[in-house]
Structures are given as C-alpha cells and as structure tokens.
C-alpha cells in the first residue's frame, strides 16, 4: 500500500518536478529559509511548554527560545549573511533619549520568538491541550496519507479542536485558509483516521471519530501596538490569534476525491515543472538540481 506524507503532497501541488527531485531522486534542499527556522524554533518552544505543563519561569522560556533559535541557525544551509542584515537602523542619542544600536535580522527574529512564546504562555496556560506535535494517518482509497498536527485541544463543549501554529508576518487570507491541504487532511484523520500521541515515552494509537473545529493560531497577533494606530490603540493586542477555518463533513467527503486526483499524478509519474511563485524558480529549495530552472539570457 502506497504511503504519501502531506508535506510531499503539498510539494507536488507546488511543483511536481520539485517532488520528483526530493522524493524519488532523494536530493536534499540546498537552502533552509530564515522564515522556516523561525517557525520551527517557535513551535519547539511551545511544544516544550506543553511537555512541561507550564511549570517554568519566564527566564526558562527566554533560554529555550535562544537555544532552539540558535540550534536551527547552526544548519549550514541557512544564509548567515541574510541574518546579519540590519532591519532596525541605529538611533543616535539626543538630549532626551539614549542611543540605540542597530538591530540585525537574527536579533529581531529572536526577540519576536521570545515575545510570542511569553505571551502564548500567558494566554494559553489554561487551555485544555490533549496532545501536541501529534502524527496521524488516514486511508483514502488504496493510499495511506500521513502528517502531524501541532495541537489537539478539547473545547468547552467537549468537542475537539485542531490548531496549526503560524508565524508568518502576514495573516492567512480566506482563500489560503480554505485551501490549506494539511488542515483538511488532519481534519479528515480526526474523523476517519488515527493519531499516534506520545504519552510517558510510549506511542499510543487513538481514533477520535468526530469532525473537529479547526483553527490557525497566528502568533504575531499576540504582539501589541506600541502607539495608537488605525487598527488599534496603544497596548492592545494586534488581533485574535485564533482564526477559525473548520472543514464541514461535506467538504471532507469532496476532499476524498480531490486528494486521490492529486495522488494519481504521482502514481502516473507526471512531473512537469510548475511555476506558481511570482519570483519564478528562485525561491525553490531544489532549483540548483533542476536543469529547467536555468534562465537563458536573451538579447534585444
């Protein structure tokens, strides 16, 4: 029986040729973006918080943020030059204010991660999280699809909530929310598949067998306004981080057909290059291995 992970499925949807390079030819991506490092480090801190059941100090959180962030940056595929770019210019001293040194992207992102995690701890200490960073699998047709969900929570009505943590600078738009494959597949697995949480060092298999509520948790909305603005007043949070994007049962039934159509392209070995990014292939992690991504100079 064929097994396909949701990450590979999403990669195939972005570009079938990139899927071929990664999955079939086993090429390793030659770059790891700073935004990916930020996302992974933030999630690792939040998972650490839930693992320790919020029994720690704010200093402990700051130490974990620093540790996980720097551990991600140790990957040789990370562009160190990008990290040293100045994102906040130096401010000279005046009669009323002290001088402020320039801030690099490395320092700015670490500060963001620390702020989000500290405020997440304050806002979510009492949330009823059943499992975190939990693998799942579900069978549709003759294919087993696998993935993981960041948080499985119980709501006040004893229902189940799936939560995907998000650290991107911009909140997701409505179209993106509706088309997020990983959330749809996780919702389907909650209804018809199995989860494999780790409890006390052992891996369990559980079937939830209900259609969940689904949320994005947009961590940058935990930031506060530093001055009055059109969107909010000083000291107010920038927004509600929980953004609902649930999948009703009829949507999940339609998804069965849709996901098998995507998988059919993989089974038929259909791997054309698909350019969907505005910048073309330049942002693809596998562009160096893809001969078709070489740009040919033209003369006028």
Average pLDDT on 98-118 reads 93
Task: Report the distance separating Cα 190 and Cα 206, nearest Å.
Answer: 10
Which pLDDT tens digit goes with each residue over 154-189?
Answer: 988 889 999 999 999 888 888 888 889 999 999 999
Which pLDDT tens digit goes with each residue over 248-258?
Answer: 999 999 999 99
Identify the pLDDT of residue 176: 85
Average pLDDT on 69-83 reads 94
Q: Are residues 133 and 119 in the same domain?
A: no
Whether pLDDT at 299 is above 50: no
Q: How many domains does the chain have?
A: 2
Q: What's the pTM value of the predicted model, to 2 decimals?
A: 0.89
Identify the pLDDT of residue 104: 94
Identify the pLDDT of residue 276: 65
Whether pLDDT at 294 is above 50: no
Q: What 3-state class would DSSP assign to 210?
A: coil
296 inside domain:
no
Give the whole-number percent of the chain exceeding pLDDT 70.
94
4 inside domain:
no
Task: Report the distance separating Cα 57 and Cα 35, nearest Å.
Answer: 27
Q: Are residues 204 and 251 in the same domain?
A: yes
141 inside domain:
yes
9 inside domain:
no
Identify the pLDDT of residue 248: 95
Domain span including residue 173: 127-269
Identify the pLDDT of residue 157: 84
293 band by pLDDT with thresholds 50, 70 and 90: very low
Q: Are residues 141 and 206 in the same domain?
A: yes
Q: Which residues contact 295 (CB under 8 A, 6 or more apart)?
A: none
Taking all residues of the chain, what is their mean pLDDT, rounded to a whole number?
Answer: 89
Q: Are residues 132 and 256 in the same domain?
A: yes
Q: Are residues 133 and 260 in the same domain?
A: yes
Identify the pLDDT of residue 27: 85
Identify the pLDDT of residue 226: 79
Q: Are residues 170 and 119 in the same domain?
A: no
Q: Are residues 109 and 159 in the same domain?
A: no
226 inside domain:
yes
Given CA atoms 71, 75, 80, 83 in this order, what sign does their dihedral have?
Answer: negative
Which pLDDT tens digit goes with each residue over 186-220?
Answer: 999 999 999 999 888 889 999 999 999 999 999 99
Task: Report the distance separating Cα 27 and Cα 293, nearest Å.
Answer: 15
Q: Are residues 48 and 91 in the same domain?
A: yes
236 inside domain:
yes
Q: Are residues 85 and 190 in the same domain?
A: no
Which pLDDT tens digit goes with each residue over 257-278?
Answer: 999 999 999 999 988 887 666 5
24 inside domain:
no
276 inside domain:
no
Residue after which a domain boundary falls, among 108, 126, 144: 126
Average pLDDT on 7-17 reads 91
Q: Are residues 197 and 63 in the same domain?
A: no
Q: How far is CA 220 from the centre of its chain?
A: 13
Residue after which a domain boundary falls, among 126, 153, 175: 126
290 band by pLDDT with thresholds 50, 70 and 90: confident
Q: Are residues 90 and 53 in the same domain?
A: yes
Identify the pLDDT of residue 253: 95
Q: Are residues 119 and 181 in the same domain?
A: no
Q: What 3-state class would DSSP assign to 106?
A: helix
Residue after which a domain boundary falls, among 111, 126, 141: 126
């Amino acid at each position: 029986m064929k097994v396909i992970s949701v990450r590979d499925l999403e990669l195939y949807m972005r570009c079938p040729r990139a899927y071929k390079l990664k999955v079939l030819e086993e090429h390793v991506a030659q770059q790891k973006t700073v935004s990916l490092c930020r996302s992974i480090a933030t999630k690792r801190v939040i998972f650490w918080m839930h693992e320790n059941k919020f029994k720690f100090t704010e200093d402990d959180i700051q130490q974990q943020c620093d540790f996980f962030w720097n551990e991600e940056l140790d990957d040789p595929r990370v562009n160190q030059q990008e990290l040293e770019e100045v994102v906040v210019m130096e401010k000279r001293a005046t009669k009323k204010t002290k001088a402020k040194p320039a801030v690099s992207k490395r320092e700015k992102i670490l500060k963001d991660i620390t702020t989000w995690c500290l405020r997440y701890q304050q806002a979510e200490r009492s949330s009823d999280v059943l499992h975190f960073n939990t693998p799942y699998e579900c069978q549709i047709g003759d294919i087993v699809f696998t993935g993981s969900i960041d948080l499985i929570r119980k709501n006040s009505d004893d229902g189940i909530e799936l939560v995907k943590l998000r650290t991107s600078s911009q909140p997701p738009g409505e179209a993106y929310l509706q088309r997020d494959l990983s959330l749809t597949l996780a919702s389907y697995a909650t209804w018809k598949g199995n989860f494999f949480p780790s409890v006390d060092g052992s891996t369990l298999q559980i079937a939830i067998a209900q259609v969940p509520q689904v949320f994005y948790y947009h961590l940058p909305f935990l930031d506060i306004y530093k001055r009055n603005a059109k969107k909010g007043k000083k000291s107010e949070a920038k927004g509600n981080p929980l953004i609902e994007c649930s999948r009703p049962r009829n949507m999940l039934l339609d998804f069965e057909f849709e996901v098998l159509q995507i998988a059919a392209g993989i089974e038929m070995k259909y791997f054309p290059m698909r350019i969907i990014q505005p910048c073309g292939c330049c942002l693809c992690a596998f562009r160096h291995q893809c001969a078709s991504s070489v740009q040919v100079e033209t003369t006028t």
